[in-house]
Amino acid sequence: MAVTISDVAAAAGVSKGAVSLALNGQKGVGEETRSRILAVARGLGWTPSLRAKGLASSRSFAIGLILERDPRLLGTDPFFAGFIAGIETVLAAHEYTLVLAVAHGEAAEAGYRKLAAGRVDGFILTDLRTDDPRVELLKGFGLPAVTLNRPVIDSPFPAVCMDGSESVKEAVRHLVSLGHRRIAHVGGPQGFVHGRGRRLAWTEAMAEAGLEPALFLEADFTAEAGVEATAQLLALAEPPTAIVYANDLMATAGQSKAQTLGFSVPEDLSIVGYDNAEFAQYLNPPLTTIAADPIPWGHEAATALLSLIHGSSTGEDIIMPPPRLIVRASTGPAPVTADA
């Protein structure tokens, strides 16, 4: 059974009040008595009760993360596993718990309201939308929050920002340098800030190269969507010779579909992903991708939120290093027989 302050008091020969003062670092007991109480507590294996600690401080010692995605994606997209791992490394060190939920629409709003009613001390917001109603919703709760990247609309919450725009442009430039001219983009949902941002970066890079950004398909980050979009693009009378995908999952599925259809990668079709998932380097051929490590992102988001909760944050945005392009064997020169 768990050791209580009553057990510590009995073993140390003092009152429960004296034990409470000593364990919480408060005045009211002499240093010799405090040292004896602490030594007895360590010897008995006493650990603080988060429930009691929460009642004393009016905190729940938990933070909320609601993912508004298809639950099936959580089991296949490595971003979320890495991001949550980064959060947990910080929370575990501070005796905080992550309350995770997956919900859509009205269920998501109800989830935020439920968690805000004393169950969490703050929120991390992911998958920001261009006109995200959650910003106003969370403002009304009066709880701290941190967003992944800065929303398009005004937001009072600090953001942990990782701008992948330049990396997407670098990927397009890399393909242009290899002779590609018909470069497609399979993007994420355009209601998401990051989905829209990656498309805009692709569009700008194409324009800078004097190329028409005509080959775009919107998908939902799933493998199935990657397969479907790839099949549509490769069925065109003039198919692309290169495709930039919004994540590695779609790129991997797209590469497999292209090979099934008889396209050789990279001889007939070059493929670029986004995220640098661990499996990307083991594909045949290994995937050229943009390395956006989600673990540090989760670590920084959790650190920033705890700083807000504890009142030690300046409230400024945190700018993380931009992701980098990793060139592997899935990209190569444009087909010499094609009008690339």
Digit-coded pLDDT (tens) for 185-214: 999 999 999 999 999 999 999 999 999 999
Label residue 133 by pLDDT band (50, 70, 90): very high
Please state, in angstroms and as integers, the Cα–Cα distance from residue 251 to each residue in 87, 165, 227, 248, 287, following that order. 26, 18, 9, 5, 8
Q: Is residue 26 part of a domain?
A: yes
- Cα 270 from Cα 291, distance rounded (Å): 18
* Res 77: pLDDT: 76
Q: Is residue 333 part of a domain?
A: no
| CB atoms inside a 10 Å sphere around CB 13 | 11
Looking at the chain, the whole-number percentage of residues with pLDDT higher than 70 is 93
Per residue in 52-84, pLDDT (tens digit) is: 554 444 578 999 999 987 777 677 778 888 999
Per residue in 162-178, pLDDT (tens digit) is: 999 999 999 999 999 99
CATH number at residue 190: 3.40.50.2300
- Cα 319 from Cα 45, distance rounded (Å): 41
- Tell me if residue 242 falls in helix, strand or coil: strand
98: phi then psi, degrees, rounded to nearest 5: -95, 125
- State the number of CA atoms in the 13 A half-sphere of 187 facing the CB: 26
The predicted model scores a pTM of 0.81
- 141 and 94, same structural domain? yes
- 188 and 280, same structural domain? yes
* Res 159: pLDDT: 96
Q: Give the 3-state DSSP-derived string for 1-27, with helices as H, strands as E and coil as C.
A: CCCCHHHHHHHHCCCHHHHHHHHCCCC
- 197 and 148, same structural domain? no
Could you tell me where the DSSP H helices lie in the chain? 5-12, 16-23, 31-44, 50-57, 71-74, 78-93, 105-116, 134-141, 165-177, 193-208, 223-234, 248-260, 294-309
DSSP, res 82: H
- 136 and 103, same structural domain? yes
- 88 and 31, same structural domain? no
Contact present, 120 and 62 (Cβ < 8 Å): yes
Q: Is residue 306 part of a domain?
A: yes
- 282 and 169, same structural domain? yes
Residues in contact with 133: Cβ distance below 8 Å, sequence separation at least 6, in sequence order:
109
- 173 and 154, same structural domain? no
Among 183, 271, 282, CA closest to 226: 271
* Res 55: pLDDT: 45
**Domain coverage including residue 237:** 165-291
- 298 and 250, same structural domain? no
- 174 and 278, same structural domain? yes
Residues in contact with 42: Cβ distance below 8 Å, sequence separation at least 6, in sequence order:
none
DSSP, res 329: T
Per residue in 231-282, pLDDT (tens digit) is: 999 999 999 999 999 999 999 999 999 999 999 999 999 999 999 999 999 9
- 36 and 149, same structural domain? no
Give the number of residues written for the chain.
340
Contact present, 286 and 73 (Cβ < 8 Å): no
- 181 and 111, same structural domain? no
Number of domains in the chain: 3
Q: Is residue 53 part of a domain?
A: no
Q: Is residue 36 part of a domain?
A: yes
Mean pLDDT of the chain: 90
